[in-house]
Amino acid sequence: MLKGKVAIVTGAVRGIGFGIAKKFAENECNIVMNVHREIEEYEEGPRNIETIKRLGVKYLVVKADVSDSGQVANLVKKTVDTFGKIDILVNNAAFAPRPKSILDIPEEEWDKALSVNLKGPFLLSKEVLPYMKKVRYGKIINISAASGITPLITDAHYNSSKAALNMLTKDMALEFAPFNINVNCICPGIIVTELVESLVPKGMDKAAFFEAFSKNAAPMQRVGYPEDIGNAALFLASDSANYITGEVIVVGGGVPLFRATPPGAHQ
């Protein structure tokens, strides 16, 4: 489905990012895996890189802070120098702070949420779009959150950054549609990843948290997994989605826009 294509996936070594990278690689897409730290600093890093290697595609691992314009430019340059093109960009890297009252959010934490979750996709897209525009082809997929549509309580900095990313998606889609560039957004519901598990309230069993939340909020009565997001990203990155742009798609098992509050959110 993506044979011979080249995709940059940010935050690609674990969680949703790895789920997307793996799904792309399974479909013969060459992968540029952006990481924020050295691979060895991620518990699952070496294992996940080996998984991509076994799939037989070409891959490149590039360390870069997506909120730093210089490092972003270097990431894109290394991609073009190695592969000669960029067909797909997945802006997945994110900062998800622990939920807290607006009154308790430190200014630096607010700034980091906006810097990574909004500025990062802006910088990456700004660097990649000229290459896509030149060949009149490209797919950009922003990974947002369902809470960017209807917020979870005590998560204002994260919610706000993702809501803004949804609008950035529409802005880019509108401007670059004449160049055959599709820009869409996936809003995951509760997806079981290492990052989300770290946000489970202290003292609460992780399995109990996910079970309670899924029964309380998701009509499908289950949580999601990275491969669920990978499947949606694969479709949007493929030519099957050539007439879809500017869409914000919730992939959350029918979760009713997070009207339910996750257990322990007020603690």
Q: Which residues participate in catalysis according to the annotation? A: 158
Q: CA 30 to CA 86: how far, in whole Å?
A: 10
d(CA 83, CA 81): 6
- The string of DSSP letters for 123-173 reads HHHHHHHHHHHHHT-EEEEEE--GGGTSPPTT-HHHHHHHHHHHHHHHHHH
CA distance 22 to 15: 11
CA atoms within 13 A on the CB side of 196: 20
C-alpha distance across the termini of the chain, in Å = 46
Kindly list the strands in the beta sheet with 59-63, ordered across the sheet, starting from the edge strand earlier in the chain.
59-63, 30-35, 6-9, 88-91, 138-143, 181-188, 248-251
